[in-house]
Amino acid sequence: MNTYDVVVIGSGPGGYVAAIRCAQLGLKTAIIEKYATKGGTCLNVGCIPSKALLDSSHHYEDAIKHFEEHGIEIAGEVKMNLEKMMARKNTVVEQTTKGIDFLMDKNKIDTYQGVGSFKDKNHIIIKGEEEVTIEAKNTIIATGSKPASLPFIEIDKERIITSTEALKMKEVPKHLLVIGGGVIGLELGQVYKRLGAEVTVIEYMDRIIPTMDKAQSKELMKVLKKQKTKFALSHQVTAVENKGDEVVVKAKDKKGNEVEFKGDYCLVSVGRKPFTAGLNAEAAGVKLNDRGQVEVNENLQTNVSNIYAIGDVVKGAMLAHKAEEEGTFVAEVIAGQKPHINYNLIPGVVYTWPEVASVGKTEEQLKEEKVNYASGQFPMRALGRSRASGDIDGFVKILTNKETDEVLGVHMVGARAADLIAEAVTAMEFRASAEDISRMSHAHPTYAEAVKEAALAATGDRALHV
């Protein structure tokens, strides 16, 4: 029987990063993955394929709507080949997942394919082509999540689908109904809107991306409406039915009236839930909470001292980069180090166009916590770079402590916001003030100048270009 210092169950961003860091720290490491390809949801049916389709559909939309204004004339009709688009997406996924195989080999990590389940707290049975049992001094549970649904919805994977099926459509829907106005629904909704579908987003809350700053919700909705996406906010879905070539969604509006929506496909994107099926956690004595999450302490350690859990299977935001940080954290804890994660500084991003990115406290949270704060906001349309590229929607908003000027939150909507947010994370990690950011030179012309201008605005209405 093979014995390891650490065995990682699950090879998503949290799992494979944990395995690499364990190996770097000199621990004999193995990783178990039930699927033929590593990388988990993110690389196979999440972050990577969705960004590939977002980029391809963005190019198509630019070709049919914006090339002419740039002086690019195309002879004949611009045609969209969905099959080729999906093939490119598959190639991107394949290259990325093969990269994980390379990293496992490079770091001398033993890999097992099959479902890993606990026999007891130190032994794991792997059911693959043949059954193998291995011994683990420490185990990291990194089994991730799967799409959630509503109890009355039957996901048939044909007309009523999750994000997994939406990433491999054989045709562009005529009318895509999207249940849920969060990150996944908006990103995939925008993909198919660009490709010619009518898109209606049905959201239970009174705004889209409800966990982000209210100003971001308002701005993104304004832009998406301009792009002809339809919204039904404050609507509680009560029934979803596949009628052959049509899906009917019934919902109640905020006045209690029943409303009916009809489309040819319905994407159910109401979040994700922890995935622990097949883990046999009870055999190891590991506790799960009533939400199906693995319970952990501040060291991401379960109630069984040599078993840890990270990523979507524990509490907190279900983000690939949060899982990566936790993977590194646990590896270092097992190796006897004293790492730290500041969960307040893990950014959130929506990869629509314009992009939406956030870190730290929202204005609503600061009001709730009765913090005396200042706010500085700068519109993207005031930037020379934005006018040059034609990406004039959005803004950067910086929230600071009114007494100390320390940056408490940064919220942006705009071109390349997903990349710009890293500046805010860096500043906040080092407890920077808005004055600090405003004194740093930002290259001109860039989108990043909006961060500097928002910082100037936050220090007392000193923005230069508005």
Q: Which residue has the tokens 């890999």?
A: 111
Distance CA 78, CA 392 (A): 25
Helix (H/G/I), strand (E/B), else coil: 396 = strand
Region of residue 326 (phi > 0: left; psi between -120 and 50: alpha; otherwise: beta):
alpha
Contacts of 264 (CB under 8 A, 6+ apart): 159, 173, 174, 175, 176, 245, 246, 247
Residue 337, φ and ψ in degrees, nearest 5: -85, 175
CA distance 11 to 261: 39
Task: Decide: helix, strand or coil at residue 448.
Answer: coil
Task: Specify the pairing of strand 348-350 against strand 355-360.
Answer: antiparallel
Active site residue 340: no
Question: How far is Cα 368 from Cα 365, in angstroms, rounded to an integer?
Answer: 5
Query: DSSP of 122-172, one letter per residue?
Result: TEEEEESSSEEEEEEEEEEE---EEE---TT----SSSEE-HHHHTT-SS-
Which member of 59, 70, 444, 465 is catalytic?
Answer: 444
Tell whether the torsion through CA atoms of 33, 38, 39 and 44 is positive or negative: negative
Residues 6+ apart with CB under 8 A from 191: 50, 53, 54, 57
Q: List, by residue number, the catalytic residues.
A: 444
